[in-house]
């Protein structure tokens, strides 16, 4: 199966809604751990506070936190296509004038896999004298990821345990996204071994 790196804030509508404020009730970093969140607040909210950020929301919503926030259309498309690996956390989404846009959810990617092929990828690690000892030797940034396909078996979207900032999706995810005409992401194929 082919795998792709998601590129957010690309393939957008002409005048996009851009979120610049949030009150989620938890730290945004907790959403990139690859674990289910059981105490999600129904009061979690995101907003576009500036008039210049008002517009049409993309299906993969542009936001200042870099979180995957999906429209009702994208969620329905992925669920109908049996795309696995996402816990949907509903949010209240607001325009600058206070009008609520219903149905959006943060896509908590519950799949975190050790799938980076370190022998073929191009990446940097934190040095041995890094001031935070727990990060020493860990992946600091990836220039070119090569993924181990076997490590990604059974899921359609994942964060790498080695570097959770990036999101990778299967061909099934990409096909469903593009067939539905969704906006907000483009995809770059990654090499798998």
Instruction: Tell me: pLDDT of 191 over 90.
Output: yes
How far is Cα 64 from Cα 192, in angstroms, rounded to an integer? 31
Per-residue confidence (pLDDT) for residue 32, from 0 to 100: 83
**Of all helices (H) and strands (E), which one includes residue 164?**
strand 163-170
Mean pLDDT in residue range 113-141: 93
Instruction: Tell me: pLDDT of 72 over 90.
Output: yes
Query: Model confidence over 147-184: pLDDT tens digits?
Result: 999 999 999 999 999 998 899 999 999 999 999 999 99
Mean pLDDT in residue range 108-118: 95
How far is Cα 87 from Cα 8, in angstroms, rounded to an integer? 19
Query: Model confidence over 9-52: pLDDT tens digits?
Result: 999 999 999 999 999 999 998 998 888 999 999 999 999 999 99
pTM, to two decimals: 0.93
How far is Cα 155 from Cα 40, in angstroms, rounded to an integer? 23
């Amino acid at each position: 199966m082919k795998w792709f790196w998601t590129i957010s804030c690309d393939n957008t509508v002409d005048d996009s809604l851009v979120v610049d404020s949030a009150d989620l009730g938890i730290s945004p970093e907790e959403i990139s751990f690859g674990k289910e969140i059981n105490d999600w607040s129904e009061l979690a909210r995101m907003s576009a506070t500036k008039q210049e950020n008002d517009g049409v929301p993309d299906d993969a919503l542009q936001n200042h936190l870099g979180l995957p926030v999906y429209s009702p259309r994208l969620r329905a498309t992925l669920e109908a296509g049996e795309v696995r690996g996402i816990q949907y956390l509903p949010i209240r989404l607001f325009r600058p004038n206070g009008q609520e846009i219903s149905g959006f959810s943060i896509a908590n990617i519950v799949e975190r896999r050790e799938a980076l092929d370190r022998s073929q990828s191009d990446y940097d690690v934190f040095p041995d004298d890094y001031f935070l000892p727990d990060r020493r030797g860990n992946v600091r940034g990836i220039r070119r990821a090569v993924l181990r396909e076997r490590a990604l078996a059974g899921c359609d979207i994942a964060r790498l345990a080695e570097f959770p900032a990036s999101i990778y999706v299967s061909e099934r995810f990409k096909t469903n996204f593009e067939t539905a005409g969704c906006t907000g992401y483009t995809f770059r194929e990654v090499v798998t071994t």
